[in-house]
Amino acid sequence: MKKHSGAKKTELNELPRIGDRVTFIYIEHAKINRQDSAITVLDSKGIVRIPASMVGVLLLGPGTDVSHRAIELIGDTGTSMVWVGERGVRHYAHGRALAHSSRLLERQANLVSNTRSRLSVARKMYQMRFPNEDVSNLTMQQLRGREGARVREVYRKQSKLHNVEWTKREYNPDDFEAGTPVNQALSAGHVSLYGLVYSIIVALGMSPGLGFVHTGHDLSFVYDIADLYKADLTIPIAFEIAGESLPDEDIGRKTRLRVRDAFVDGKIMKTIVKDLQYLMDVEAEEEMFIDVINLWDDKEELVKHGVNYEEVPQ
């Protein structure tokens, strides 16, 4: 038998759950390689070792080179990778997910494909933003109107609190510097949140494109979930950064660091997992990662995988 070369692939039950991982790490202008069970990041300042299995998502910015061995490790440990543009304002591509089961994806697809159940999930999302109001009988148009008013009020309060002039949310993905400081900070903060939410959605085996409120985009569900946390996380941070930053400061980098600190303190990954379980009607005790493959059958719901059915009596 040929001897296996390289490190042994980590078993699924040996990996930290997505809710127990570090949120995200942003890397640019660096070379990523592998040393044993860690990835190494080499830039002009030196080399840093990062345990891949403890990271939720790697945001790879411009000038990033990744070796084949590093990708092998990152894929086996289920760490998500998102290739982003300069300062993280664009989402180009993503890597492999942690989940080995399509159970949650099927549940998500069933819920979003039925008008009644889709509306029910959307109402649950809005109810999480309006805990003191009953939104169970509101239409989507009414819900969008209330949400718009809520977000405008959040902007007004933060503008007054941090003495930052605010007109409207305006940005150009192709020209980060053209935005006002607060809009730059909002863009950088939201993209960090999107990357984190994306990593958890795909880690659980769900689709980032099957949204309940947003639709028609490959990140619709990411936007759905991220909107649950902006008012409490990224919007206040963006206004705080804009109010204290000097003209020549790198607002994007400063915002990402501040957002990362807030994520660590708030245990946001566990919150997102819990909220996804709630929205998909998954009991907290249910196992979230199941490594099983079955074959679909039109007469039986599932049949075993890995069986030679030519030899099975009909």
For residue 286, what are its two tokens?
């249910």
Q: Give Dmax over CA atoms of the chain in angstroms.
A: 77
Binding residues for Mn(2+): 147, 214, 227
- Report the first-to-last Cα separation within the chain, whole angstroms: 37
Look at residues 124, 260, 284, 250 and name the one whose alpha carbon lies nearest to residue 189: 260
Look at residues 87, 57, 83 and name the one whose alpha carbon lies nearest to residue 187: 87
- CB burial readout 174-206, b (16+ within 10 A) else e: eebeebbbbbbbbbbbbbbbbbbbbbbbbbbbb
CA dist., res. 204 & res. 289, Å (int): 7
Binding residues: 147, 214, 227
